Amino acid sequence: MADAKVRRANRDAVVVHVDNAQTKRRKLSHEDMEESRDPLEDSGCTRDADSEESDDNGEVEDSVAEDMQRLERSFRGFSKKYRLINRIGEGTFSTVYKAEDLHYESYSNKWDLDEKENLYSPSGRKTHQSGQRRPHFVAIKKIYVTSSPQRIMNELDLLHDLRHSDAICPLITAFRDKDQVVAILPYFRHLDFRAYFRDMNVADMRIYFRSLFTALAAVHDSNILHRDIKPTNFLYDTHRKRGVLVDFGLAERHGTDHQPCLCTLRKEDRKQRIQQSYNHTHDHPLGYPKGDQRPSLRANRAGTRGFRAPEVLFKCTAQTTKIDVWSAGIILLTILARRFPFFNSSDDIDAVIELATVFGKAKMKKCAMLHGQMFECNIPTIGEEGYTLEKIIIWSTRSVTRDKYGNKIRLGAAEAEAVEFLEACLAMNPDQRISAADALQHPFLKERDGGSEDEMDVLSMSSPAQ
């Protein structure tokens, strides 16, 4: 392994430490790469936020121990720099290990929020009460060798660009040996989403989403689309009430692969184009045209099923940062409805049907047309108008929908405000969808005077419905 000349985040460019000449890589095709792991699968056996130091005593499976040894062997001198502890995550594109950073003290560690807050040593001491040096942990992301070099470089490059935001997990450094690349990230303590989302009251949601939207606003401000917003990519520490965004493996700069889409036209021009297309279709007999010369429509559909925005499903070729706001909205819907995953389609057609079930055929038709597509559906249970999000949440969380006087149950003021925010995140038209920066100014997320949350928040949903 080449000597690490520059290591920390204040470098000018991402330095990937190289050992040998590159070997031939087996690359996955674009189609293989675009689907991120299923939301139900364990992407990372997420650790308890309190278990940081007990990890050392945790069981390490034999296969994991072998993988860790292999990793140590791949990079000469690796075990002198890092002490691998255990596997903490296994995603579609990588395996993530927890390790102790043995040379921590030799570098400036501006990224270390714990150290900034002096959480462990209020008196400025850098040691445990036992007198030992406090261990410093990192997450080592071993990117699968099947990933294309461009994809890996893209992830490291974007992480480097975003290094100044506290809400984004920064890149400390990266190493390469032949076709094996590892990224070194600060280890961030967090809990598995499934362990806490059902117990969140509205006050908790405000804090969680303030943190998530702060991260999104920073990403979007740098003109970057994350493309894979979902609970396993937002590591949230429920004790410190702080989260960081990880996994920029599918992220891209705004405008990459942009092609004109009808949604970018003025309303009148769009109408005219749709009318032309309609007339053309109706001048010809029904069926597929023989020897169709039109190029097939290709659009980026990278992301995770259940979290894809409608414009991604309708193959919009001019996608924007608003796709991330939609996915964040799906996380809020999951928490409010207390159901994970909320949408669970097996493919994009199913996903469109799931959206139609909630939002209704009329909105879906309008949305499809916005991107030059047609939506037709003859499933009898899917109505024209769909349901309000308030209704969906009441159905999911209450055992009855009417009180003892026969009146319809309504959401409390705090939950209603959350739903109003949810509606802004789940606007079908990306142009009308709230931006991450504006979301932070929405009454649901805006910091209250004195920073305290409303009492009504605590009362509302304090005993979550089953």
Binding stretches for ligand ATP (CB under 6 A): 36-37, 43-44, 46, 88-89, 91-94, 96, 139, 141, 169, 185-188, 228, 232-233, 235, 246-247, 249
Cα 149 to the center of its chain, rounded Å: 22
Between 219 and 368, name the residue whose CB sits nearer to Mg ion: 219
| Shortest spacing between CB 148 and Mg ion, in angstroms | 17
| Span of 138-146, 231-239, 427-435, 455-463 interacting with Mg ion by CB under 5 A | 231-239
**Residue 89 binds: one of Mg ion, ligand ATP, none (C-beta under 5 to 8 A by kind):** ligand ATP
Q: How far apart are CA 305 and CA 77, in angstroms?
A: 40
Residue 239 vs 273, nearer CB to ligand ATP: 239
Helix axes 413-425, 322-337, angle to 10 degrees: 150
**99: DSSP letter:** E
Nearest-approach distance from CB 301 to ligand ATP, in angstroms = 15
Residue 54 Cβ vs Mg ion, minimum distance, rounded to whole Å: 24
CB of 187 to ligand ATP, least distance (A): 5
Measured CA to CA, the distance from residue 305 to residue 341 in angstroms comes to: 10
Q: Using the minimum distance from each CB to Mg ion, give the nearer residue, 9 or 169.
A: 169
Q: DSSP of 189-245, one letter per residue?
A: ----HHHHGGG--HHHHHHHHHHHHHHHHHHHHTTEE----SGGGEEEETTTTEEEE
Query: At its nearest, how many Å lie between ligand ATP and the CB of residue 144?
Result: 8
- Cα–Cα distance between 308 and 287 in angstroms, integer? 30
Question: What number of chain residues touch Mg ion (CB under 5 A)?
Answer: 3
Specify the residue, 46 or 320, whose C-beta has the smaller distance to Mg ion.
Answer: 46
Please tell me the distance from the alpha carbon of residue 189 to that of residue 170, in angstroms, as a whole number.
14
Q: Is there a cis peptide before residue 295, judged by omega within 30 degrees of 0?
A: no
Span near Mg ion by CB under 5 A; candidates 91-99, 178-186, 258-266, 427-435: 91-99
Concerning whether 228 is annotated as a catalytic residue, the answer is: yes
- Of 261, 263, 268, 225, nearest in space to 367 by CA: 263
Catalytic residue among 55, 161, 179, 228: 228
170 touching Mg ion, by CB under 5 A: no
- In whole angstroms, give the CA distance from residue 263 to residue 78: 50
Of 251 and 261, nearer to ligand ATP (C-beta) is 251
Phi (first) and psi of residue 332, to 5 degrees: -65, -40
- Cα gap 151→179, rounded to integer Å: 13
CB closer to ligand ATP out of 92 and 357? 92
Give the residue, chosen from 109, 233, 327, 373, that forms a contact with Mg ion under the rule CB under 5 A.
233
Q: Which residues bind Mg ion (CB under 5 A)?
A: 91, 233, 247
The catalytic site residues sit at 228
